[in-house]
Amino acid sequence: MTIRELTLDTLDDKVARRFPGRIVRKDLVRQTKSGFNVPVYVLEYLLGQYCSSTDPQIIAEGLEIVRDTLSRNYVRADESEKVKAITRSRGRHRIIDKVKATLDTDADRFWAELTNMGARNVLIDDATVQQYDKLLMGGIWALIDLIYDPEVQIRGVTRPFAIERLKPIQQGSTDLSDFIAGRSAFTRDEWLDLVLRSIGIEPNHADFTQRRKLLFLARLIPMVESNYNLIELGPRGTGKSYVFREISPYTILISGGQTTVPQLFINLSTGRVGLVGLWDVVAFDEVAGINFKSGDAVQILKDYMESGSFSRGKEETPADASIVFNGNIDGDIPTILKTSHLLYPLPAQMQDLALIDRLHFYLPGWEIEKAKPDHFTEHYGFIVDYITEVWRSQRKTSYADVLDKHFSLGSHLNQRDVRAVRKTVSGYLKLLHPDGQFTREDVAEYLELALEGRRRVKEQLKKMGGLEYWAVNFSYIDQEMREEKFVTVPEQTAGGLITPGQLTAGVTFTIGTDRADGRHAIFRIEVQAAKGRGSLNITGAPSTAIRDAIKTARTYLQANAARLGVNRDRDPNEFDFHVQIVNLMQSKEGSETGVAFLIAMLSAMLQKPAIESLVILGEMSIHGALLRVDSLAERLQLAMDNGAKRVLLPADNKRDLPDIPTDVLDKVQIIFYSDPINAAFRAMGLD
pLDDT (0 to 100) of residue 629: 93
- Burial (CB count within 10 angstroms: exposed 0-12, middle 13-18, buried 19+), residue 422: buried
Q: What average pLDDT score do residues 7-27 get?
A: 92
pLDDT (0 to 100) of residue 84: 93
Residues 536 and 2: their CA atoms lie apart, in Å, by 80
pLDDT (0 to 100) of residue 350: 93
Helix or strand run (H / E) with residue 647: strand 646-650
CB proximity list for 214: less than 8 A, separation 6 or greater: 192, 428, 445, 446, 449
Residues 467 and 600: their CA atoms lie apart, in Å, by 29
Residue 518 DSSP symbol = -
Closest to 430 measured CA to CA, from 252, 243, 250, 217: 217
pLDDT (0 to 100) of residue 495: 58
Closest to 602 measured CA to CA, from 681, 509, 672: 681
Residues 38 and 446: their CA atoms lie apart, in Å, by 34
Given a cut of 80, whether residue 314 has pLDDT beyond it is: no
Q: What average pLDDT score do residues 162-180 get?
A: 82
Residue 668 DSSP symbol = S
184-214 pLDDT, tens digit per residue, is 999 999 999 999 999 999 999 999 999 999 9
145 in Cβ contact with 196 (< 8 Å): no
559-572 pLDDT, tens digit per residue, is 998 888 777 667 88
216-262 pLDDT, tens digit per residue, is 999 999 999 999 999 999 999 999 999 999 999 899 999 877 788 88
The torsion of the CA quartet 426, 431, 434, 437, rounded to 10 degrees, works out to: -70
pLDDT (0 to 100) of residue 171: 61
Closest to 489 measured CA to CA, from 505, 506, 472, 501: 472
Closest to 200 measured CA to CA, from 344, 41, 78, 60: 41
Residues 518 and 516: their CA atoms lie apart, in Å, by 6
Q: What average pLDDT score do residues 511-520 get?
A: 81
Angle at 282 (CA atoms; ends 279, 283), nearest 5 degrees: 150
Provide the pairing of β-strand 520-531 with 507-513: antiparallel
605-627 pLDDT, tens digit per residue, is 889 999 999 999 999 999 999 99
User: How far is the CA of 67 from the CAs of 48, 74, 104, 376, in angstroms?
Assistant: 13, 10, 37, 21
Angle at 364 (CA atoms; ends 333, 339), nearest 5 degrees: 25
Closest to 95 measured CA to CA, from 34, 146, 27: 146
* 168: helix, strand or coil: strand
* 537: helix, strand or coil: strand
Provide the pairing of β-strand 229-234 with 322-328: parallel
* Amino acid code (one letter) for 143: L
Q: What average pLDDT score do residues 510-525 get?
A: 85
495-508 pLDDT, tens digit per residue, is 578 878 888 999 99
Q: What average pLDDT score do residues 596-602 get?
A: 95
- Other CB atoms within 10 A of residue 256 CB: 16
Higher-confidence position of 328 and 156: 328
> What angle in degrees, to the nearest 10, is found between the helix axes of 440-465 and 415-432?
140
pLDDT (0 to 100) of residue 100: 94
Given a cut of 90, whether residue 306 has pLDDT beyond it is: yes
pLDDT (0 to 100) of residue 268: 67
The torsion of the CA quartet 257, 261, 264, 266, rounded to 10 degrees, works out to: -150
Share of the chain above pLDDT 90, in %: 60
**Exposure string for 384-410, b = 16+ CB within 10 A, e = fewer:** bbbbbbbbbbbbebbbbebbeebbebb
* Amino acid code (one letter) for 613: S
Q: What is the DSSP string of 104-156?
A: ETTTTEEEEEETTTTEEEEE--HHHHHH-GGGGTT-EEEEEEEEE-TT-EETT
Residues 258 and 292: their CA atoms lie apart, in Å, by 6
Provide the pairing of β-strand 157-158 with 153-154: antiparallel
Residues 542 and 539: their CA atoms lie apart, in Å, by 7
381-422 pLDDT, tens digit per residue, is 999 989 998 999 999 999 999 999 999 999 899 999 999 999
pLDDT (0 to 100) of residue 276: 92
CA dihedral sign, ordered 238, 240, 246, 247: positive
pLDDT (0 to 100) of residue 481: 83
545 in Cβ contact with 510 (< 8 Å): no
As a 3-state breakdown, the chain gives helix, strand, coil percent values, each rounded to 5, of 40, 20, 35
Residues 199 and 242: their CA atoms lie apart, in Å, by 9
| CATH number corresponding to 495-683 | 3.30.230.10
pLDDT (0 to 100) of residue 152: 92
Q: 258 phi and psi, to 5 degrees? A: -75, 135
Average pLDDT, the chain: 90
Residues 123 and 113: their CA atoms lie apart, in Å, by 9
267-295 pLDDT, tens digit per residue, is 767 777 889 988 999 999 999 888 887 77
Given a cut of 60, whether residue 1 has pLDDT beyond it is: no
Given a cut of 60, whether residue 602 has pLDDT beyond it is: yes
pLDDT (0 to 100) of residue 213: 97
Closest to 412 measured CA to CA, from 370, 455, 445, 376: 455
- pTM for the model stands at 0.76
Given a cut of 80, whether residue 76 has pLDDT beyond it is: yes
Angle at 105 (CA atoms; ends 291, 253), nearest 5 degrees: 30
Higher-confidence position of 6 and 263: 263
Given a cut of 90, whether residue 439 has pLDDT beyond it is: yes
Task: Report the DSSP beta bridge partners of residue 670.
Answer: 647
* 550: helix, strand or coil: helix
pLDDT (0 to 100) of residue 296: 84
pLDDT (0 to 100) of residue 432: 98
- Alpha helices by DSSP H, 466-523: none
pLDDT (0 to 100) of residue 38: 82
